Chain A
Amino acid sequence: MSIRLPRRIEEVVVRPTWPGTLPRTIEPRNLGVDYDTDWARSRLARAVRHAVTEGVTRPVVAALSNPTIFGAEHFEAINGPMIFAANHASHLDTSVVIASLPDRIRHRVVVAAAADYFFDRAWKAALWSLTLGTIPMERNKVDRKSADLAAQLIGDGWSVVIFPEGGRSPDGWGQEFRGGAAYLAKRCKVPVIPVHLRGVRPVLPKGGNTIRRHAVEVRFGDPLWPREDADESGRKEDARRFAARIERSVAVLADEAESDWWTARRRAASGATPEFRGPQASPWRRAWALPQSARRTRTDRPKSSTKPW
């Protein structure tokens, strides 16, 4: 299935790109991290979001990717809020994660979304806040405002979905996990649930403008609690190290997705988990080494003509 807007309609609805040679001189007000999302957690907005999630998001996700969920039992015993930290390869990731959460969490979760991308226009900010429960998160620098908001929501019992890579993967391989999720977990003393999404990139990769059906697997890992005690070397675990631990957990889930649980466990124990961020090599070799589940094969490409003219 391919969806592509006619060029002229696209030129109308899609905002023009900003020249890279020109500094942005007009800072939108009440947008970005300054956008107030309180209204999107009102009773009415939550009711609308509930209807959208159940009536649109989940059916669409099911139709496009029919996700298979593994490991949801890991966090069933946890009653309070938690942070879901997932790898990020596609715009569909948010919807897939939300659709895969148990009912009790699904309707009390917010999604940390890039303030510069999802909150740069009033209509986008309103749309995503209402339908997905997004909150603005500064991804290029530490911002007290967005961290305070997330911490406050966790304190109010909201779980948070975060994509610690800070943006979608440009080539299908993972990127370094930033410290936002780890910092919040430490600050609020809540667990992080590592999440791995397999097969989402073929549905809608970064830069893609068509959507194709592809089976998706969602794996939840064991809850990771921030450590307060010092490790063997006497160092306490700071947010950066905790972020690295979360990344390793997601890497193990990725290995599990490509092999099996037992193999992944043994590799993890021996430090042989395949590189989450892919080989440090030229772009073509990285593309070459990409697992099949992350590739987008063009099965629907029209056959080239065999006619000689």
Chain B
Amino acid sequence: MSPRPGFVLEVDRSTPPTLFWHGEGFRFERLPEGSRVIYPQEPIAAIADFDAAIRHALEHPLGASKPLSQLLFSGMRLTIAFDDISLPLPQMRAPDIRQRVIEAVLDEAAGAGVDDVVLIAALALHRRMTDDELRHALGSRVFDAFAPNGLLWQHDAEDPSGLVHLGMTDEGEDVEINRRAAESDLLVYVNINLVPMDGGHKSVATGLASYRSIRHHHNARTMQHSRSFMDRHNSELHTSNWRMGRLIKDAGVKIFQIETSMNLDTFPSQFGFLQKREWEWSLADRAGFHATRASLERTPPRLARQIFQSIRSPHGPTSIQAGEVEAVHDRTLENVFRQQLVSVEGQTDVLTMGLPYICPYNVNSIMNPILVACLGLGYFFNLYRGQPLVREGGVCIISHPTPWAFHPVHHPSYIDFFEQVLSDTTDPVEVEKRYEQAFATDPWYIHLYRTSYAYHGVHPFYMWYWCAHTLEHLGAVIIVGGDRAAVRRMGFRPATTLQDALEMAEDVVGRDPTVTHVHMPPVLMADVG
């Protein structure tokens, strides 16, 4: 049976309560009659023989690119870059897509007699991956062949000798990327497209770039002019990346881009209820949900976090395309939209969302308040095409515990950002103007980024810029069930229950507002007409 498309449900009296994610837990909420709930499409079928699909993609490239086998030759310098721990979410059940693709590329390289091969995790300004995380992403065969010989690198955006400045774009943007990647005879980039923002020129122009380069598009102005940053053709973030990508190409860097898309089979069978519509829950689903919820209520937060972070997603690959960057990315977006796009008529006064335990920047870590804001107001809000789901001046209600908690190793600069910066101002433009330079160039943060497992000192600023368009657009943000002090620190309003939040929202948008709830994850992209 073909998967049912995503759709918009109108809530009536007989609609059962709606599941809201609430961090490492859930809420079961009754939405007002007449509210809309947007459900994602069911998972489309994964490619049955993915290894054959990989081989086909490598030998039948898109755009002006030769097949991979013709690009490989003995004596060449080959660099294979791949997406880091931030993709996919949750982490994929082994074997990871990256492992399968990279093994196929290495098979080709071995056949062509290529000796000089280096693998690079494209971290950008993210934290370094642990050996276990690398082993999971690449598989033991690849890890054991490259890591012990020092051929498995992690991109270092603060290593002066490891970067090369390729020039400036017409808009005066510095383009500085990883030297090894730039000076290789061929750079193969292996990508995973979880949301439409990923991939394209952003893979190399951001993933292998330095702070000097990234700052040109990761800033408040760019984000405020992206409508949205999930829609490439209306995203300043992507326009800037595309300018840089073309400069990289003109500088002679030969890139063979491999992009993959995945279906929405996001959670394993024991969490099957998360992928079903509430009125279709079987007895097993209902028992599973209530047992899970009851257990989580009695589980210490630390243990609950560990349980959730151990979830491995059964994501299935739905497409793979390789070749020239822009041609590949266009095809990838078609495949991502085929799975994720849901048509929605008109905007709403109040948008509600339940946030899960994970976002791209807290894998095996803590979802701190800044990441809560980034996931809700950055990612979820911006998953639209056309116009935002909520009208200008509307209200966004987020359900998440929002604990005042930070991972001291992964997010050291977040702690100071939260304490020093947000206590002074929450305006992204002011934040950028007054504080970014100090954090970005702080030697201690740079040291931790390069040698420990810390996100770059400037990273919390980017998370806050991610919300810039949303903060400008909305009349108020209300967080249900969050730590009140943490919520207020970010300039949002805390509420105990959804009903309270809806009452509070009426103060902003007027009586009897229209309410829309986005039922994700699994993720969806609203095509708002």
How many A residues touch B, CB cutoff 8 Å?
14
- A16→B279 contact, CB < 8 A: yes
Chain A residues lying within 8 Å of B12, measured Cβ to Cβ, are 19-21
User: Which of chain B's residues 25-72 have a Cβ closer than 8 Å to chain A?
Assistant: 28
B294 and A16 contact, CB distance less than 8 A: no
Mark interface residues in A1-27 (1 if CB within 8 Å of B CB, else 0): 000000010011101111111100110
Contact B290 A12 (CB under 8 A): yes
Residues of B within 8 A of A17 (CB): 14-16, 279
Least CB separation from A26: chain B residue: B280
Residues in A with CB closer than 8 Å to B294 are 8
Instruction: A18 to B16: give the CA distance in the assembly, Å.
Output: 7
- CB pair B281–A20 under 8 Å, yes or no, is no
- Which of A11, A20, A22 interacts with B286 by CB under 8 Å? A11
Residue B302 interfacial (CB < 8 Å): no
CA distance A21 to B16 in the complex (A): 12
A16-B16, A17-B15, A19-B9 given as contacts; is B280 within 8 A of A8 (CB)? Answer: no
For A12, what are the chain B residues with a Cβ–Cβ distance below 8 Å?
283, 286-287, 290
- Number of B interface residues at 8 Å Cβ cutoff, please give it: 19
Say whether A22 contacts B9, CB under 8 Å. yes
Counting CB contacts under 8 A, is B278 at the interface? yes
Contacts A12-B283, A13-B283, A26-B280; is A19 near B290 (CB within 8 Å)?
A: no
Tell me whether B280 and A21 are in contact (CB under 8 A): no
Distance between A23 CB and nearest chain B CB, rounded to angstroms = 11
The 8 Å CB contact of A19, one of B28, B279, B281, B286, is B279
Contacts of A13 in B (CB 8 A): 283, 286
Query: For the complex, what is the distance from the CA of A161 to the CA of B447, rounded to whole Å?
Result: 83
Q: Complex Cα distance A12/B282, Å?
A: 9
| Chain A proximity mask over B290-303: 1 for CB below 8 Å, otherwise 0 | 10001000000000
- The residue in chain B whose Cβ has the minimal distance to the Cβ of A12 is B286
Report if B11 contacts A (CB, 8 A).
yes
Give B287's nearest chain A residue, CB to CB.
A12
Binary interface profile of A, 32-51, with partner B (CB < 8 Å = 1, else 0)? 00000000000000000000
Give 1 or 0 for each of B218-248: 1 = CB within 8 Å of chain A CB: 0000000000000000000000000000000
Q: Does any Cβ of A come within 8 Å of B10's Cβ?
A: yes
Alpha-carbon gap, A286 to B11, bound state (A): 31
Contact B283 A19 (CB under 8 A): no
Specify which of B10, B278, B279, B287 lies most central, judged by the most chain A CB atoms within 10 Å of its CB: B279
The residue among A8, A18, A19, A26 with the most chain B CB atoms within 10 A of its own CB is A19
A16 partner, pick from B4, B9, B281, beta carbons under 8 A: B281
> CB of B13 within 8 A of chain A?
yes
- In the complex, A13 Cα to B286 Cα: how many Å? 8
CA distance A12 to B290 in the complex (A): 7
Shortest CB-to-CB span from A116 to chain B, Å, is: 14
Note all chain B residues with C-beta closer than 8 A to A19: 9-12, 14-16, 279
The residues of A that contact B281 with a CB separation of less than 8 Å are: 16
Closest to A16 in B: B16
Within the assembled complex, what's the spacing in Å between the Cα atoms of A180 and B366? 64
**B11 contacts which chain A residues (CB < 8 A)?**
19, 21
In the complex, chain B residues 260-311 whose Cβ is within 8 Å of any chain A Cβ: 278-281, 283, 286-287, 290, 294
A20 and B290 within 8 A (CB): no
- Does the CB pair B290–A11 fall under 8 Å? yes
A26 to B1, CA, bound (A): 11
Bound CA–CA A298/B295 (angstroms) = 37
Enumerate chain B residues within 8 angstroms of A22, measured Cβ to Cβ. Answer: 9, 279
Residue of A with least CB distance to B8: A21
Q: Are B280 and A20 in contact (CB under 8 A)?
A: no
Q: How far is the CB of B293 from chain A (nearest CB, A)?
A: 9
* Distance between A122 CB and nearest chain B CB, rounded to angstroms: 11
CA A12 – CA B293 in complex, angstroms?
12
Contacts of B4 in A (CB 8 A): 25
Residues of A with C-beta under 8 A to B287: 12
> Do A21 and B278 touch (CB < 8 A)?
no
A22 to B278, CA, bound (A): 13
In the assembled complex, the Cα of A285 lies from the Cα of B451 at a distance in Å of 81
A8 in contact with B14 given A19-B9, A21-B9, A22-B9 (CB within 8 Å): no
User: How many Å from the CB of B137 to the closest CB on chain A?
Assistant: 38
Docked complex Cα distance between A16 and B281 (Å): 7
Nearest to A18 among chain B residues (CB) is B279
Nearest chain B CB to A20's CB is how many angstroms away? 5
B28 to chain A: which residues have CB within 8 Å? Answer: 11
What would 9 more interface pairs be, CB under 8 Å, given A16-B280, A19-B10?
A8-B294, A11-B286, A11-B290, A12-B287, A17-B14, A20-B13, A21-B9, A21-B10, A21-B12
**CB-CB nearest 5 A-B residue pairs:** A16-B16, A19-B15, A17-B14, A21-B10, A20-B12
User: Can you list 15 residue pairs at the A/B interface with Cβ under 8 Å?
Assistant: A11-B28, A11-B286, A11-B290, A12-B283, A12-B286, A12-B287, A13-B286, A15-B283, A16-B281, A17-B14, A19-B279, A20-B15, A21-B12, A22-B9, A22-B279
Question: Which residues of B approach A to under 8 Å, CB–CB?
Answer: 4, 9-16, 28, 278-281, 283, 286-287, 290, 294
Write the residues of chain A forming the contact surface with B, with a CB cutoff of 8 angstroms: 8, 11-13, 15-22, 25-26
